[in-house]
Chains A and B, each alone.
Chain A
Amino acid sequence: MISIMNALIFIVAAPFIGGLVAGIDRKLTARMQGRVGPPILQPFADVGKLFEKKQIVVTPSQHVHTLSYLVFIVASGALFFAGGDLLLVIFAFTLAHLFLVLGAYSSYSPYSFIGAERELIQIIAYEPMIILAAVGMYLVTKSFFVWEIMASELPLILYLPGVFLGFLMVLTIKLRKSPFDLSTSHHAHQEIVKGVTTDFSGPMLGRVEIAHWYENVFLLGFIYLFFAWNPLIAIIAIIVVYLLEILIDNTFSRGTWQFTLKSSWIIAGMMGLVNLGVLYYLSAVVPA
């Protein structure tokens, strides 16, 4: 059943988990680069400091967009953890990102403008694969509802290996890791400064950061679904996947948008589609 309790737990706990993951991420990245790195709790201090800054804006509507971004990310994550319809979660997630893009568009800076365009390219690069992942889960469990997928005893990962690999690929885009950190990056500076977030500052930037934490927790939750039949394996899988993402982030240089779009559509799309095609064929030939 839809669990409001789980949604509330997500709303309260996700920023802490997300911040912690970001801290560990930074520490590991630093170690891979031969640096000592900041303390694990540094992201909390950083975001806290943002909220102490004086707010300056280019246009007041930036507030509306960043606030909507946060609200809808939280809403779609809460819907996911409550066990709602996976497709609706994905659409709400897209809606949230649209607000980030609009926030970047609303300032007339060339840097955030290009960031916005690139963010849109990233959306169309990853969204089909995420929908295909949801469709794959439906083909195995016969339900789009997260709570029913969770309750399924079937090891989804064995049915959906191609879909999972494709999902990992677009996960790199979503986590804003190299080579796909086109629109904005965790690393210090890129050719378009900070991309979509260029003209956000102070508390407004803090909001965007927190939304990103929520988002990451939601994405890790999505990985959990593939392994839901065994929680222990699931948690190990999440840790392994995240470590892998950090490794990828540190070993690849940033690609172009063409590379992002083509690779995610062709490679991820193909792996996902072939996997789904096999499942579809089997379910048509072998009645359950």
Chain B
Amino acid sequence: MINNDKKPDVHLFEGESLITLPFLILFPAAIAAILLLVPGDTWRRLIVQAGALIIGIASLYLLFITPGAGQAFFPVTGGWITTLMFIAEMIIAVFLIYLGIKHKKYLALFLVVAQAALLIFYETSAAHGAHIVPDLFIDQLSLIMALIIGIIGSLICVYALGYMATYHELHPDVKDRRRSFFFLVFLFIASMFGLVFSNYLPWVFFFWELTTLCSFLLIGYSGTGEAVNNSFLALNMNLLGGIAFAGALIYLAVISPGGDLLSISTLIQSGHVVALIPAVLIGFAGITKAALMPFSAWLVGAMIAPTPVSALLHSSTMVKAGVYIIVRFSPVLTGTTEGLIIALLGGFTFLLASAIAISQSNAKKVLAYSTIANLGLIVACAGVGTYKLVWAAIMLIIFHAIAKSLLFLCVGTVEHRIGSRDIEDMTGLIVRMPKVAVMMLVGIAGMFLAPFGMLISKWAAIEAFIDAPFGLIFVAILAFGGSITVLFWSKWMGKIISVCPVAELVENRISRQKWIVLSLLTAMTVFVCLAFPIISSHLIEPFVLSVYGQTARLSQDNIIIMAMMLFLLMIMPFSLLWFRKEKNIVAPYMAGRPATPDLHFLGSMGVQRQVGLGNYYFEGIFGEKKLFMAGTALCFGLILLMGTLTAGVAL
């Protein structure tokens, strides 16, 4: 790591690109509305693909209009927008109350009513004096988030077209509600854009609640009992965060009657004394959305949803909103006890969720726990919040989004072809579905292996934590948690590449759209590893520099060495071209037992048996139940501690 003590240059901005930010919020919303009206599949395909393309291009266009350093603001006149949002929030509340009554979920009912009451209180009394003009803003952090949402999110939408068609063929019992499905997905993307571009906190809150609503409805898509239960679990936990968020709004409105502090940019610069309490409340909302322990259950339960929804929730939307807001507020959290507690919460979540992933054989569950773990790590970085750690946190967000979306979509593809999402059933996938298997291997490598992205970030995090206060705890967590990660990813890789003699090729009937999306994501996983020095110097470093006045980066020598490693890693598979001529192929070693070519052998008692190999899952050590209990207790304790501390500050 090299420190760079350059001062950020002040950047003045023009209003020329005012159109782009509202466009990115309104356009997906418009597409969503159209999709709700269009009945036929043909039109839907056309609109989704065109819409995704335009959103992708528009988010790339942001690269050119974002100032090189600092933030650009776009004031939005028209008080009616805020009023409209309030009305929409009330309508949503009524809708949720209706659903709560319909499904007899009284806890959700209570939470909705509580949140709505807080909002009405805020609107009617607290926010009365507010006179500031709400504005949108963009800086490198928003830009990075927008790129993730715009590119990965829209790729997932395109993938979902083919997936949902197959999904309904395979699940005839599920009512075909694809119209509302695509409506929700695009609305989700619109609200994510709104969330990362809004500077005015009540607007952030509105989009925040929209993402909660969309995820709730998407998780419950299939309408089965389990899906409904899991969707309400997600709703409850996210509403809890929403209530904390609303509390932050009221607090801010009370301490600054003019409403100046309701802007994120002003709030962050106003110092610990003023900003700490709202930062902790919003941080808590972020923790619920990012599914850290003890709230991890909703994200695990969310895997009941169709796979593109999981991909969306895990990579570009929802959980990323949670970590985004915590990274936003990390300048306020840094150096405070509350920040440290949030970081510890993240650290323990990283360690325990990684460990739980070892004991899971359901591929989607492994992915879910790995997401929870990585979100924990991001929050750990952002909570301690030194400039080096914020750098690492943003790197993690980028790399995780790409690799995780790729993995989910690969699992979805495999599931439709082999009829299972269990890792044990993926034996010899390299023979049965060679192309998808290779993409999956790239995705897995991207998650934990040098010199791929996630490892670079973990490495940077270790180096950064050493110099941070109380950093040794986190270094230890990373050392142990990092190795645990190696175990569960490697054994999955091992399953994919073990060449089982009875495997047959089943990689047909995968639509062209799916191939395009999967290939693009695979290419991006590799590309960001090659391009990360540029991503760092053009996007992350300017942001960190403008917030902290100094920035971190990897040293030149290490970048060169890693580029060499990546190159070496990429040419290694080509040696297969040379070895392919191998003629002397023999059966695997079976201790001299007579075995047939498809590995049947004569077992004891004269029974013919076939060789079956299963991975270790270490249920006794890394069992889900045990570790989840421990994590919940630990993290719940930390939250109570944080609440007490914050209340102490407030009173």
Residues of A within 8 A of B (CB): 2, 54-61, 63-64, 67-68, 71-72, 75, 79, 84-85, 87-88, 91-92, 94-95, 98, 101-102, 104-113, 116-117, 120-121, 123-124, 127-128, 131-132, 135, 138-139, 144, 193, 198-199, 261, 265, 269, 273, 276-277, 280
Contact check, B589 vs A198: say whether CB atoms are below 8 A apart: yes
Task: Say yes or no: is B611 at the interface (Cβ < 8 Å to chain A).
Answer: yes
Bound state CA distance, A116 and B579, in angstroms?
22
Contact check, B479 vs A131: say whether CB atoms are below 8 A apart: yes
The one of A111, A121, A128 in contact with B589, judged by C-beta atoms closer than 8 angstroms, is A111
Task: Say yes or no: is B482 at the interface (Cβ < 8 Å to chain A).
Answer: yes
A-B contact sample (16 more), CB < 8 A, given A64-B575, A108-B599, A128-B480: A58-B588, A63-B575, A64-B572, A75-B568, A98-B493, A107-B498, A107-B499, A107-B589, A108-B428, A108-B611, A121-B616, A128-B482, A132-B475, A273-B472, A277-B472, A280-B472
> Are A107 and B580 CB-contacts (below 8 A) given A101-B490, A113-B498, A269-B480?
no
> Are A57 and B589 CB-contacts (below 8 A) given A88-B561, A127-B486, A128-B483?
no
Bound state CA distance, A267 and B407, in angstroms?
36
28 pairs, A vs B, C-beta closer than 8 Å: A56-B585, A59-B585, A60-B585, A64-B575, A64-B576, A75-B565, A75-B568, A84-B558, A85-B555, A85-B558, A85-B561, A92-B565, A94-B486, A95-B449, A98-B490, A102-B497, A106-B498, A107-B589, A108-B613, A111-B589, A112-B588, A120-B494, A121-B616, A131-B478, A131-B479, A193-B591, A199-B588, A269-B476
Interface string of B473-495 (1 = CB under 8 A from A): 00110111011101100110111
Interface of A is mostly: helix
The one of B487, B580, B611 in contact with A121, judged by C-beta atoms closer than 8 angstroms, is B487
The stretch that binds A, out of B54-62, B78-86, B271-279, B458-466, is B458-466
Q: With a CB–CB cut-off of 8 A, which chain B residues contact A199?
A: 588-589
Interface string of B556-569 (1 = CB under 8 A from A): 01100110010011
The one of A57, A84, A117 in contact with B585, judged by C-beta atoms closer than 8 angstroms, is A57
Contact check, A56 vs B497: say whether CB atoms are below 8 A apart: no
Task: Say yes or no: is B615 at the interface (Cβ < 8 Å to chain A).
Answer: yes
Q: With a CB–CB cut-off of 8 A, which chain B residues contact A56?
A: 584-586
Q: With a CB–CB cut-off of 8 A, which chain A residues contact B462?
A: 87, 131, 135
Min distance, Cβ B127 to any Cβ of chain A, angstroms: 45
Which 3 pairs between the two chains have the least Cβ-Cβ distance?
A105-B494, A109-B588, A91-B450
Q: Which of B572-597 contact A (CB under 8 A)?
A: 572-573, 575-576, 579-580, 582, 584-591
Number of A-B contacts (CB under 8 A): 180
Q: With a CB–CB cut-off of 8 A, which chain A residues contact B562?
A: 88
Chain A residue nearest to B493 in the complex (CB): A102
Contact check, B494 vs A116: say whether CB atoms are below 8 A apart: yes
> Are A55 and B582 CB-contacts (below 8 A) given A64-B573, A135-B475?
yes
Q: With a CB–CB cut-off of 8 A, which chain A residues contact B463?
A: 87, 144
Contact check, B586 vs A120: say whether CB atoms are below 8 A apart: no
> Are A58 and B476 CB-contacts (below 8 A) given A95-B450, A110-B611, A120-B491?
no
Bound state CA distance, A64 and B582, in angstroms?
12
Contact check, B450 vs A88: say whether CB atoms are below 8 A apart: yes
Task: Say yes or no: is B500 at the interface (Cβ < 8 Å to chain A).
Answer: yes
Bound state CA distance, A106 and B591, in angstroms?
17
Bound state CA distance, A72 and B572, in angstroms?
10
Residues of B within 8 A of A (CB): 428, 430, 449-451, 455, 459, 462-463, 466, 471-472, 475-476, 478-480, 482-484, 486-487, 490-491, 493-495, 497-501, 555, 557-558, 561-562, 565, 568-569, 572-573, 575-576, 579-580, 582, 584-591, 599, 611, 613, 615-616, 621
Chain B residue nearest to A138 in the complex (CB): B466
Q: With a CB–CB cut-off of 8 A, which chain B residues contact A67?
A: 572, 575
Q: With a CB–CB cut-off of 8 A, which chain A residues contact B449?
A: 95, 98
Q: With a CB–CB cut-off of 8 A, which chain B residues contact A63?
A: 575-576, 579, 582
Contact check, A79 vs B561: say whether CB atoms are below 8 A apart: yes
Min distance, Cβ A178 to any Cβ of chain B, angstroms: 22
Chain A residue nearest to B572 in the complex (CB): A68
Bound state CA distance, A201 and B484, in angstroms?
31
Contact check, B615 vs A117: say whether CB atoms are below 8 A apart: yes
Contact check, A108 vs B466: say whether CB atoms are below 8 A apart: no
Bound state CA distance, A87 and B229, in angstroms?
45
Min distance, Cβ B180 to any Cβ of chain A, angstroms: 43
Contact check, B584 vs A105: say whether CB atoms are below 8 A apart: no
Q: With a CB–CB cut-off of 8 A, which chain A residues contact B451?
A: 91
Bound state CA distance, A92 and B572, in angstroms?
15
Contact check, A58 vs B585: say whether CB atoms are below 8 A apart: yes
Q: With a CB–CB cut-off of 8 A, which chain A residues contact B471?
A: 280
Q: With a CB–CB cut-off of 8 A, which chain A residues contact B591?
A: 111, 193
> Are A58 and B494 CB-contacts (below 8 A) given A108-B500, A108-B599, A128-B480?
no
Min distance, Cβ A3 to any Cβ of chain B, angstroms: 12
Q: With a CB–CB cut-off of 8 A, which chain A residues contact B478?
A: 131
Contact check, B590 vs A110: say whether CB atoms are below 8 A apart: yes
> Are A101 and B494 CB-contacts (below 8 A) given A106-B499, A110-B613, A127-B482?
yes
Chain B residue nearest to A91 in the complex (CB): B450
Chain B residue nearest to A273 in the complex (CB): B476
Min distance, Cβ A206 to any Cβ of chain B, angstroms: 15
Bound state CA distance, A115 and B30, in angstroms?
56
Q: With a CB–CB cut-off of 8 A, which chain B residues contact A132?
A: 475-476, 479
Min distance, Cβ B388 to any Cβ of chain A, angstroms: 13
Contact check, B487 vs A120: say whether CB atoms are below 8 A apart: yes
Q: With a CB–CB cut-off of 8 A, which chain B residues contact A85?
A: 555, 557-558, 561
Contact check, A117 vs B611: say whether CB atoms are below 8 A apart: no
Bound state CA distance, A111 and B462, in angstroms?
36
The one of A94, A139, A261, A276 in contact with B450, judged by C-beta atoms closer than 8 angstroms, is A94
Bound state CA distance, A139 and B466, in angstroms?
8
Bound state CA distance, A24 and B584, in angstroms?
35
Bound state CA distance, A91 and B483, in angstroms?
10
Bound state CA distance, A124 and B479, in angstroms?
10
Contact check, B486 vs A123: say whether CB atoms are below 8 A apart: yes
Bound state CA distance, A133 and B270, in angstroms?
41
The one of B483, B561, B572, B585 in contact with A124, judged by C-beta atoms closer than 8 angstroms, is B483
Q: With a CB–CB cut-off of 8 A, which chain B residues contact A128?
A: 476, 479-480, 482-483
> Are A124 and B498 CB-contacts (below 8 A) given A112-B588, A132-B476?
no
Contact check, B579 vs A276: say whether CB atoms are below 8 A apart: no
Q: With a CB–CB cut-off of 8 A, which chain A residues contact B497?
A: 61, 102, 105-106
Q: With a CB–CB cut-off of 8 A, which chain A residues contact B565?
A: 72, 75, 92, 95
Min distance, Cβ A161 to any Cβ of chain B, angstroms: 17
Contact check, B483 vs A123: say whether CB atoms are below 8 A apart: yes
Bound state CA distance, A61 and B466, in angstroms?
40
Chain A residue nearest to B560 in the complex (CB): A2
Bound state CA distance, A111 and B500, in angstroms?
14
Q: With a CB–CB cut-off of 8 A, which chain A residues contact B580?
A: 60
Min distance, Cβ B527 to any Cβ of chain A, angstroms: 20
The one of B428, B491, B579 in contact with A60, judged by C-beta atoms closer than 8 angstroms, is B579
The one of A55, A88, A95, A113 in contact with B613, judged by C-beta atoms closer than 8 angstroms, is A113
Chain A residue nearest to B498 in the complex (CB): A105
Chain B residue nearest to A132 in the complex (CB): B479
Q: With a CB–CB cut-off of 8 A, which chain A residues contact B501?
A: 108
Bound state CA distance, A144 and B495, in angstroms?
35
Q: With a CB–CB cut-off of 8 A, which chain B residues contact A261?
A: 621
Residue from A104, A116, A193 with most neighbouring chain B CB atoms (10 Å): A116
Q: With a CB–CB cut-off of 8 A, which chain A residues contact B569?
A: 68, 95
> Are A112 and B589 CB-contacts (below 8 A) given A61-B576, A63-B579, A135-B479?
yes
